[in-house]
A and B are shown apart, each in its own frame.
Chain A
């Protein structure tokens, strides 16, 4: 009764098919309640804390982590768990009590929007562009990792897998927006936990338990490296304690949990400020289990399949070799859940950023000023080209000028968000093959993140905690910080002993961003007090007129 679809048996195919059809139908059904841009991008700001927390966690664990973290654990050991423990929990606690309440009260759609209010519109556009482009590349990586695992597991062609995932995610994100993303993510979180614990349980059973695993790996010549969370800086891993502490705990982790639009957007959709905070802490609690689920199989793989050429192959290999039909379907669905939950989050956030921070900004700006050849040439030509194709079929297609001056309501921005969702799905599909050139997928993602996460964090922290920080300082800090990380990447092989020193680079880029922002802010005019009133942490803590400040925050 084995089916011809690669390694999957009939029952597995049925489970996966039901799962994919189920989430797509549910997403389309949620789409019936989407009427405005706030509904589409923020679920009408009415989402429950438990779903948001689950969505945060599962969005963070993509297929990228299932494959990449298990692969890193296989190659380097348990030290990779630092990413989910010290690399998440402290930052989430700080985010829950300081940053998330501010964002929520400000009633913004995006983090760049908050920065725009605190600094200026240029900072907003710059940060939005950086994130917007990054998200598009991330979509490509997510599609590639899914296709890679499906190829190993079932022998499916890469292109087929990419299109299958892109279709399912594209449909429900297009219709349901963030509400569909969050509710489906919470279902996917449950499936992911079940699937991951199944493979962990079976792998550990095969090995003979944790003690036996330690004995086996030690007998293979391991000198304790695989079972120590804290390893010296000279070990041949990217996880020496110094880079974990400085690069991860102090920079990349806070930058991720309080500055990454794909994560923070969920908190902005909470029903209340209290629920926004609670969702982050709930997410933190779930995070405690992630290394057990992901690192465990990777470690077991060292004993079960020693000598794999690529560490990233271990998770698909374990599924392939250990699981009977039926369970393969469940674990495979868990893998799809992990993948889909990341893709939908980045897809929805990319659409939000490009709609609210770039498209809407451009339209608002253009309405105020006359024709400008630098701003209007490219969009004008693009618009004319589309008009040339579309006009034979409809007489309602406006001219570029009519389009710019048209009155727009909330529904218009929702439609733009949906159109961009479709465009980005297609873009992600085309970017997927680029990822193939990089041997360690997880390291590749961290590399991209660490180039601008450090400088970005510096301006977010100073913006909220230091009254004197201003727009010019933020722009200088951001630019010089990114230049620093780019330069360090260029000379990393001559400067660092760690094999993938992205954590060190993030730390130095953060420091340069911080110092530059402080120096330039001190050398230039401060922001007017009325502009930043209510946007600074200390002023709100000291003030008894919190209601006034909340109104100020909400613009």
Chain B
């Protein structure tokens, strides 16, 4: 049963392996960076992520968590650019 199943799935596994092997690492790096960039853009499209307003206290834009997230993703991108 085990061998039969393995034989059945093997052609698909080999085809997928050849497929991913054909992608150059420079393109892979772009994909990884693209994911981080897409997430940063998505975060910016969200409504402002500020705390509940407190009477008499004005929030700075820094309290908006969207910018924190974008900063985080940018820092992360640097590592994938370097290594």
Residues of A within 8 A of B (CB): 78, 81, 85-86, 89-90, 93-94, 96-97, 227-230, 232-234, 240-242, 245, 249, 272, 274-275, 277-278, 281, 284-285, 288, 487, 490-491, 494-497
Least distance between B34 CB and chain A CB atoms (Å): 11
Provide a sorted-by-A list of 20 A–B residue pairs whose CB atoms are within 8 angstroms: A85-B76, A85-B79, A89-B73, A89-B76, A93-B69, A96-B65, A96-B69, A97-B43, A97-B46, A230-B29, A232-B21, A245-B28, A245-B32, A277-B65, A278-B65, A281-B68, A285-B68, A487-B5, A491-B9, A497-B17
| A230 touching B10 in the complex, CB below 8 Å, given contacts A86-B80, A94-B39, A96-B69 | no
Q: How far is the CB of B13 from chain A (nearest CB, A)?
A: 5
* Min CB gap A252→B, angstroms: 15
Residues in chain B near residue A242, CB distance under 8 A: 20
B interface residues, how many (CB within 8 angstroms): 34
A274 touching B21 by the CB < 8 A rule? no
Q: Given contacts A85-B76, A96-B65, A97-B49, is CB(A494)–CB(B6) below 8 Å?
A: yes
CA distance A234 to B31 in the complex (A): 19
- Residue of B43, B50, B83 most packed against chain A (CB within 10 A): B83
Q: In the complex, A278→B51 CA distance in Å? A: 10
B34-83, CB < 8 A from A: 35-36, 39, 43, 46, 49-52, 65, 68-69, 72-73, 75-76, 79-80, 83
Instruction: Report how many A-B pairs have Cβ atoms within 8 Å.
Output: 99
- Nearest B residue to A492, CB-CB: B6
Q: Most chain-A Cβ atoms within 10 A of its Cβ — which of B20, B35, B50?
A: B20
Query: A residues within 8 A CB of B17?
Result: 233-234, 497
- The answer to whether A491 touches B39 (Cβ under 8 A) is no
Contact pick for A494, options B3, B52, B80, CB 8 Å: B3
Task: Report the Cα distance A281→B3, complex, angstroms.
Answer: 46
Does A230 lie within 8 Å of B28, measured CB to CB?
yes
Using CB atoms, name the residue of chain B closest to A246. Answer: B20
Contact assessment for B50 and A229 in the assembled complex, using a CB-CB cutoff below 8 Å: no
Q: Chain A's nearest CB lies how many Å from the CB of B45?
A: 11
Select one of B6, B25, B51, B75 contacting A241, CB under 8 A. B25
**Which B residues lie within 8 Å of A89 (CB)?**
36, 72-73, 76
CB-based contact B52/A274 at 8 Å: yes
Is the Cβ of B49 less than 8 Å from the Cβ of A495?
Answer: no
Once the chains bind, are A230 and B75 in contact (CB under 8 Å)? no
Given contacts A86-B76, A93-B73, A228-B83, contact A495 B51 (CB under 8 A): no
Most A C-beta atoms less than 10 A away, residue of B29, B31, B65: B65
The docked-state distance in angstroms from the alpha carbon of A494 to that of B25 is 26
Pairwise interchain contact B72-A495, C-beta atoms closer than 8 A: no
Contact with A along B11-37 (1 / 0, CB 8 A): 001000100110001001101100110
How distant is B15 from chain A, measured CB to nearest CB, in Å?
A: 13
> B63 to nearest A CB, angstroms?
9
Kindly list chain B residues whose C-beta atoms are within 8 Å of the C-beta of A90.
35-36, 39, 73
> Which residue of A has the minimal Cβ distance to B20?
A242
Q: Which residue of B lies closest to A501 (CB)?
A: B13
Give bound CA distance, A25 to B32, whole Å: 46
Q: Which of B3, B32, B50, B52 has the most CB of A within 10 A?
A: B32
Asked whether, in the complex, the Cβ of A232 is within 8 Å of the Cβ of B69, the reply is no
Cβ–Cβ < 8 Å partners of B10 in chain A: 494-495
| Contact B39–A241 (Cβ < 8 Å) | no
Residues in chain A near residue B36, CB distance under 8 A: 86, 89-90
Among residues of A, the one whose C-beta sits closest to the C-beta of B2 is: A491
- Smallest CB-CB separation from A243: which chain B residue? B20
Expressed in whole angstroms, the minimum distance between the Cβ of B6 and any Cβ of chain A is 4
B3 touches A234 (CB 8 A): no
Q: For B5, B13, B28, which residue has the most chain A Cβ atoms within 10 angstroms? A: B28
Q: How far is the CA of A272 from the CA of B14 in the complex (A)?
A: 50
The contact of A288 among B13, B25, B75, by CB within 8 Å, is: B75
Residues from chain A with Cβ under 8 Å of B3 in the complex = 494
Q: Contact at B49–A274, with CB atoms within 8 Å?
A: yes
List of 4 A-B pairs having minimum Cβ-Cβ separation, nearest first:
A494-B6, A229-B83, A242-B20, A274-B51
CB <8 Å contact, B43 and A93:
yes
Residues of B within 8 A of A227 (CB): 83
A495: chain B residues at CB < 8 Å are: 6, 9-10, 13
In the complex, what residues of A have CB within 8 A of residue B31's CB? 245
B21 touches A285 (CB 8 A): no
Whole-angstrom CA separation of A217 from B37 in the bound complex: 33
B79-A281 in contact (CB<8A)? no
A230 to B79 alpha-carbon distance, docked (Å)? 11
Given A230-B32, A278-B68: 15 more A-B contacts, CB < 8 Å: A86-B32, A86-B35, A86-B36, A86-B80, A89-B73, A93-B73, A96-B65, A97-B43, A97-B65, A228-B83, A242-B20, A245-B31, A272-B52, A274-B51, A284-B72
Shortest beta-carbon distance, A65 to chain B, in Å?
A: 18
Q: Smallest CB-CB separation from B72: which chain A residue?
A: A284
Interface centre among B51, B69, B80 (most CB of A within 10 A): B69
Q: Which residues on A sit within 8 Å (CB–CB) of B21?
A: 232-234
Contact residues in B for A232 (Cβ distance below 8 Å): 21, 25
